[in-house]
Chains A and B, each alone.
Chain A
Amino acid sequence: MIQESFADGRSLLHRVDPRLRVTGAVAVAIVVAVSYQFSTLTTALVTSLILVFAARLDLRIVLRRLFAPALFLLLLWTVLPWSFEGEAIATIGPVTLTRPGVIICSQISLKTVALVSAFMALVATMTVDTLGHALNRMKIPDNLVYMLLITFRYLFVIEQEYQRLVRAMKIRNFHLKTNLHSYRSVAFLVGMLFVRASDRARRVHGAMICRGFNGKFVSLREFPSHPVNGVYGLFIVLVLVLLFHLEWGF
């Protein structure tokens, strides 16, 4: 299930106002996403690594988290280098690798690793709950924030319900096989989860109404100011200026 492995660190970065961290991560993400210069992308990667170290994240978990995007990148590397038109740089049997193909793969890989690490350092270092409240304060539409918070809260309940159903199937000796019975049973399982989730949603909504819910959440969270906010803000602004300069030359 979801583990907020990075959320309870004690680094200075953890103490930065969550709103600043979210803003910083989004700003860097936008700039990096539209950049193509290798100097910009490597700078972004170095920045992300600095942030990861500043947040004192467990590097083993960082690598494990990078595994998922790495699989996706692997897929790109197996397809793009030979399927792109352009100057050939190598020929392996019937396959010709092209320069533009390799370049675009490198760019995508750099962007991915830089952004995923930056988000790990800046956003994953707060709990989903804090993230929700930070987004709420940043005037993100209420409904989106509630969806995030309530989804997160009930994922665990739905997962428990899933486990309960799976257990019920297992004790009656259900094994997944390639036959119609298995498919039907799994379809029942998924259908049942939907039914239970919607029932649950109805009951939760009822409970909220009983406590006077009128469509508006009030957040109790305070985000006190801390000198580290200034240092962090300055760092992010400098990084953004540097990235802009490398990419567009001003």
Chain B
Amino acid sequence: MGVLIVKPLILKMTKICFGYPGGPMILDHLNFHLHAEDRIGLVAPNGSGKTTLFHVAMGLLKPISGTIEAFGKIRESEKDFFEVRRRIGLLFQDADDQLFSPTVLDDVAFGPLNLGKSKEEAMAVAEETLDFLGLSGFEDRVTHKLSGGEKRLVSLATILAMEPEVLLLDEPSTGLDAATKEKLIDILTSLELSIVLISHEYDFLSQTARHIYTMDKGRILFDHELHIHSHQHAHLMGSQPHRHV
């Protein structure tokens, strides 16, 4: 029997319940563990609480009950989450929610400046990040005039510029063309971070995630049938995502 190496636990959510007043429970005694270097894909129907899960983890939404432990500490108050937000980056579903500054450089430098970096340092980090994502020359572009794919990559840059240890990506591949998707996959696989991805695209997940979880009735399920595997076979429409039962 080999030695089992357990990576440090980054995020541990225990018995989290969340729902809006008068509505059903969106998260119902949910348990979720994230270890360093994990790459988890979350696939679940719309409205099953994936985005809510992310927002609870970042402290944007307060759970009705349950505990959130991040980086070894229980996080409850708004203040507790400052550190969490510095170390975990959340990519929003809609890039327009993320990019609020007039120009790309302003937006990418916003996070580093908030972390107390000087102007020069912030600009340097911003330019380095843009460069890494192949977006050099975008500094003075106006954010609301970027194309959808550009907006997504710039949003990613705004998060990476904060040098997080974990990325929570809310449908990063939705609405991207094949080339931009390829680029995003290359970027994500080259990053040495823990990543949790929400996506509806198995193709995308199979190239970026190592485990796939699904959600049902406000809880996370480890779906054994969804294990990623590869085998070769041919049939009609074989290039489309499909399952073999």
Q: Is this pair of chains taken from one and the same complex?
A: yes
Q: Is B180 an interface residue (CB 8 A)?
A: no
Q: Which residue of B lies closest to A129 (CB)?
A: B102
Cα distance A150–B101 in the bound complex, in angstroms? 8
Residues of the A chain whose Cβ atoms lie less than 8 Å from the Cβ of B89: 210
A residues neighboring B (CB under 8 Å):
127-129, 132, 149-150, 152-154, 156-157, 200, 203-204, 206-214, 217-218, 220
A212 in complex: contacting residue of B82, B92, B98, B123, CB < 8 Å: B82
Q: Is B211 an interface residue (CB 8 A)?
A: no
Q: Give the distance to chain B from A215, nearest Cβ to Cβ, in Å.
A: 10
Q: Is B106 an interface residue (CB 8 A)?
A: yes
Q: Which residue of A lies closest to B105 (CB)?
A: A220
Determine whether the beta carbon of A212 is less than 8 Å from that of B122: no
Determine whether the beta carbon of B143 is less than 8 Å from that of A153: yes
Q: Give the distance to chain A from B77, nearest Cβ to Cβ, in Å.
A: 14
Q: Is B29 an interface residue (CB 8 A)?
A: no
Residues of the B chain whose Cβ atoms lie less than 8 Å from the Cβ of A156: 144
> What interface size band does chain B fall in?
20 to 34
Determine whether the beta carbon of B102 is less than 8 Å from that of A211: no
With contacts A157-B144, A220-B105 known, is A211 near B100, CB below 8 A? Answer: no
For the complex of A and B, 6 pairs with smallest distance between CB atoms: A212-B114, A129-B102, A211-B111, A203-B97, A218-B113, A206-B60
Q: Is the interface of A mostly helix, strand, loop or mixed?
A: helix
Within 8 A of A (CB), among B102-149: 102-103, 105-106, 109-111, 113-115, 119, 122-123, 143-144
Q: Is B55 an interface residue (CB 8 A)?
A: yes
A207 in complex: contacting residue of B92, B102, B123, B144, CB < 8 Å: B92
Q: Is B86 an interface residue (CB 8 A)?
A: yes
Cα distance A94–B80 in the bound complex, in angstroms? 77
Determine whether the beta carbon of A203 is less than 8 Å from that of B100: no
Determine whether the beta carbon of A200 is less than 8 Å from that of B102: no
B111 in complex: contacting residue of A129, A154, A157, A212, CB < 8 Å: A212
